[in-house]
Amino acid sequence: QVQLVESGGGLVQAGDPLRLSCTAYRRTIENYAMAWFRQGPGKEREFVATINDSGKTTYYADSVKGRFTISRDNARNTVHLQMNSLKPEDTAKYYCAARLDYGDTYSRIDEYVYWGQGTQVTVSS
């Protein structure tokens, strides 16, 4: 079992940056594909970004491409989501997800096995 704990959420103004972190416990995540999803008020959970086990391959939703960057530090068992130029429509609860895999990235909710509890990001206009 992998336990994922997100942190770094908060209330920011439009245009501000914010960095989310996801720390894994109980297992090393060096052989796991990792991702961030989000769920806004009244909306379904949606894909944001994913990174493969080595960190060499990333993939982003069109809505965040060029503004968000996903990265990982396998030595610290942590994945980050750097969010720049935040917009009010980025307001959501952000979730970290993991699946055991070697090399690939995944963007569908049903492709991930382990999930964190989420961290709230609120962007005011």
Q: What are phi and psi of 42, to 5 degrees?
A: 75, 15
pLDDT at 4: 98
Residues sharing a CB contact under 8 Å with residue 104, sequence separation 6 or more, in sequence order: 33, 52, 57
H or E stretch covering 21: strand 18-25
Which tens digit of pLDDT belongs to each residue from 67-79? 999 999 999 999 9
Q: How confident is the model over 76-95, as a mean pLDDT?
A: 98
